[in-house]
Amino acid sequence: MPLTTERIDQITKGMGRSRILILGDIMLDEYLFGTVSRISPEAPVPVVEISSDRCLLGGSANVAANIKALGDEPMLLGTVGEDEASIRMTQLLKEKRISGDFIVNDPSRRTTIKTRVIANNQQVVRTDRENSHELDKDIERKVLARFKSVVDDIGAVIISDYGKGVITLSLLQQVIELCLDKGIFVGVDPKETHFHNYRRVSVITPNHHEAGFAYGKRIRTEADLLEVGSGLIEKLEAKSILITRGADGMSIFRHGEGPTHIPTFARKVYDVTGAGDTVIATFVSAVCGGADLVEAAIVANAGAGITVAEVGTASVTVPQLKAELIHNIKNGNLAKAAPQ
């Protein structure tokens, strides 16, 4: 059944009251803004005259920022280096009032920085400064110890895997096992190369490219989508899989039930950076607020529609979500969300 205004009110009132742990790859997103008026005489590349810059929380830190914006309490767990970028990370977390108490300093790696150069409202180039080797056993033990120290005080776990080395197979298996034992909801924003390690989780949120890669079949048709979604949920023994499909919206597959397709709510698309972070954060927050899996997918879809209209990584608030969902009810968009 499509959401009603009464049900939206119930779910949004329930959101923003949970403690949610985010485990994953912590990053900084740096933006350099400028204009292009000439081509370099040194090489056939544009010369960007930088006029301003901006630094934002990225990767799993952006998931934490999304959780904070929704009113829940984020507990960010991961690693950073012992460098200037980690100091900047600490400052940004303080500005967002997000605790950095669970972050482990790893002297063997640098803090990941993704730098995007934006000229004339278009991304010209991205540079990455990072180490992506797996955590050594000592650092992994410290991360796991911090997880165990708070596992009894959390309502859900989000695993935000960008493939930078924090989500090792050993750590992942131990975290999932603990959550299963304690009945804790586990949401995963996956890295496609690690896909088959995310077993028995509550929800996994790949885009259609990642899902097709993981299953070994490119999604071109509705029949392909059905095969990939149904096949992955069986292989992974997951409770649900939410496949994001860009302009085609999202499809959620639940164990033992047919898929439900949700059309996109985006009114304009400016920048998809961080949209996956918003999807997983809003989905898990909605579940913690009392939504079922289909309702949570509809809420997450609305959140993604808001953030893609912003430049860079962005967060949404519960009032924004509520307004967007009610707008879509009035326009008849939610009536289009239907099981197959």
**Residue 311's pLDDT is what?**
52
Interior CA angle at 223 toward 222 and 226, to 5°?
85
CATH number assigned to the domain with residue range 5-27+60-79+131-339, chosen from the 4 options 3.40.50.10490, 3.30.70.100, 3.20.20.330, 3.40.1190.20: 3.40.1190.20
**pLDDT confidence band for 238 (50 / 70 / 90):** very high
List, for residues 192-215, the tens digit of each pLDDT value. Answer: 888 999 999 999 999 999 999 999
Q: Answer yes or no: is pLDDT of 73 > 50.
A: yes
Q: Count the Cβ atoms, other than its own, within 10 Å of residue 226.
A: 16
The reply to whether 277 belongs to the active site is yes
List, for residues 123-179, the tens digit of each pLDDT value. Answer: 999 999 999 999 999 999 999 999 999 999 999 999 999 999 999 999 999 999 999
**pLDDT confidence band for 188 (50 / 70 / 90):** very high
- Distance, C-alpha 27 to centroid of its chain: 13
Whether this model's pTM surpasses 0.85: yes
Among the residue ranges 2-6, 202-206, 304-308, the one predicted with the least confidence is: 304-308
**Residue 247's pLDDT is what?**
80
**pLDDT confidence band for 271 (50 / 70 / 90):** very low
- Distance, C-alpha 109 to centroid of its chain: 23
Structure tokens at 70: 């929704």
Structure tokens at 148: 């165990």
Q: Answer yes or no: is pLDDT of 244 > 70.
A: yes
Q: Are 147 and 23 in contact (CB under 8 A)?
A: yes
The string of DSSP codes covering 270-313 is S--TTHHHHHHHHHHHHHHTT--HHHHHHHHHHHHHHHTTSSSS
Q: Are 308 and 265 in contact (CB under 8 A)?
A: no
Structure tokens at 58: 């990225």
- Distance, C-alpha 47 to centroid of its chain: 33
**Dist. CA 205–CA 181, nearest whole Å:** 22
Q: Answer yes or no: is pLDDT of 292 > 70.
A: yes
Sequence-distant (6+) residues with CB within 8 A of 327 are: none
Q: Answer yes or no: is pLDDT of 51 > 90.
A: yes
Q: Which entry of 106, 189, 271, 277 is annotated as an active-site residue?
A: 277
Q: Answer yes or no: is pLDDT of 267 > 80.
A: no
Q: Which residue has the tokens 């307004």?
A: 323
Mean pLDDT of the chain: 91
Q: Count the Cβ atoms, other than its own, within 10 Å of residue 108.
A: 14
Backbone angles phi and psi of 128, in degrees to 5 = -120, 130
